[in-house]
Amino acid sequence: MPHSLPLITTLVGALTMAFIFGMIAHRLRLSNMVGYLLAGVLIGPFTPGFVADQALAAELAELGVILLMFGVGLHFSVKDLLSVKFIASPGAILQIVLATLLGALAGKLFGWSWTTGLVFGLSLSTASTVVLLRALESKGLLMKREGQIAIGWLIVEDLVMVLALVLLPVLAHSGDADPAFNLWQQLGVTLGKVFAFIVLMFVIGRRLIPLVLKHTASTGSGELFTLAVLVIALGIAFGAVKLFGVSFALGAFFAGVVLSGSELSHKAAHDTLPLRDAFAVLFFVSVGMLFDPAILLRAPLAVLLTVLIIIAGKSLAAYGLVRLFGYSNSVALTISASLAQIGEFAFILTGLAIYLKLLPNEARDLVLAGAIFSIMLNPFLFGWLEKYREKKQIPAE
């Protein structure tokens, strides 16, 4: 009897190709991420041979984002977040504005309107959660000062993107009656939902979640404890999206933060580590699957300009802003390197903007090309940073 097994086929195909090309990349002394991205390109719809299910791969990758952000939240405290608020909030917002303006200028060169260019620039302004966290983790910087600033910066970027996703439909229908009222109304509703979610997590979640884990741990069953952790991470992330309009990443992060004070937080992080790593790999494969290599022949200069905005424009803006706030050269370089790439929110934003006819289809190909190349080059930026530190004998802060 024939069976339709799209989930298993996609999972086996994606993980197998990721393993093969990850090993090849490792042998060539490249980052494993390069191998995972190339694996995605090869099993995507734009290259011959086996084609995995893009929608399923993207959903599986989202699990990696959730577990990754939950794990980061477990190691963070409210005190850590508040300690970087005076740089993370204004820094992230100003960097988004500068990157958006650079994208708008590029859009004019492509022959687009200012509105189209601004939406394009906005999609280039936010960093990938997975890439940033893996880069900081691999270099042992996640819990250092620069790591705390980068995470705070990332949280602010996520919040701005949540607002952008809500406000784009209002912008698309700006010809309707009283668009200004609609804009402020949507903005107020979205901010209210985000505030309600955060209050709920810290007032109720902070008491209830550790209690549930403590009770589960008392049963002595390791599998029940792991199940409880997964239910908390995935359930809160799902609820954050469905009930409050917050991103999966943000919901999972706050689920981890409210649990960070519990004595069981380290066990929770340890138990979810294998799943987190496996599904995080699928994120890179799913990005590779979206990439159409033909864009490199159709519009090579446009691709180059897009990549330069992401790697040079964003990182220089971040470097200048961090230095402006009085931080050392070492911290500024780390923050700028960690933000010199784009990821999940860029794809969501461009997809919605194309649906609303705010962006042409070509913009999605440029954003995906920018994501692929910036993610591939990001490990080299950190490698250069490490050599620079060794040469100057500068420790991480």
Residue of 337, 345, 344, 346 lying closest to 317 (CA atoms): 337
Q: How far apart are CA 106 and CA 114, in angstroms?
A: 10
Mean of pLDDT values over 292-297:
91
> How much is the pLDDT for 177?
52
Q: Which of 26-35, 116-125, 348-357 has the highest mean pLDDT?
A: 116-125
Q: Which band of pLDDT confidence, cut at 50, 70 and 90, is reported for residue 176?
A: low
CB atoms within 10 A of CB 173: 12
Q: At residue 320, does pLDDT exceed 50?
A: yes
Look at 34-48, 90-104, 179-193, 253-267 and tell me which has the smallest mean pLDDT.
179-193
CA 28, distance to chain mean position in Å, is 27
Burial class (CB in 10 A: 0-12, 13-18, 19+), 174: exposed
Environment class of residue 165 by beta-carbon count within 10 Å: exposed (0-12), middle (13-18) or buried (19+)? Answer: middle
The ranges assigned to domains in the chain are: 6-392
Query: What pLDDT is attached to residue 171?
Result: 73
Chain centre distance of CA 374:
13
**What pLDDT, on the 0 to 100 scale, is given for residue 397?**
58
Q: What percent of the chain has pLDDT over 90?
A: 33
Residue 135 scores a pLDDT above 90: no
CA distance 108 to 117: 7
The tokens describing 165, both together, are 């996703």
State the pLDDT confidence band at 2, using cuts at 50, 70 and 90: low
Burial status of residue 261 (CB atoms within 10 A of its CB: 0-12, 13-18, 19 or more): exposed
CA distance 342 to 223: 36
Closest by Cα among 313, 393, 373 to 97: 313
**Which comes out higher in pLDDT, residue 351 or 110?**
110
pLDDT in tens, 351-365: 888 888 899 989 988
Q: What is the pTM of this model?
A: 0.80
Is 175's pLDDT higher than 80?
A: no
- The alpha carbon of 90 is separated from its chain's Cα centroid by a whole number of angstroms, namely 19
Give the per-residue pLDDT at 299.
92
70, 255 Cβ separation under 8 angstroms: yes
pLDDT of 60 strictly over 50: yes
Average pLDDT, the chain: 86
Structure confidence at residue 1 (pLDDT): 44
pLDDT mean over 325-344: 89
More confident residue, 53 or 170: 53
| pLDDT, mean of residues 65-81 | 79
pLDDT bracket for residue 260 (50, 70, 90): confident
CA gap 133, 338 in Å, rounded: 9
Task: List, for residues 183-229, the tens digit of each pLDDT value.
Answer: 677 778 878 888 899 889 888 888 888 899 889 999 989 899 999 99
Q: Are 68 and 133 in contact (CB under 8 A)?
A: yes
CA dist 327 → 84, 150, 362 (Å): 12, 13, 39
Q: Say which CATH topology domain 6-392 has.
A: Na+/H+ antiporter like fold (1.20.1530)
pLDDT at 3: 63
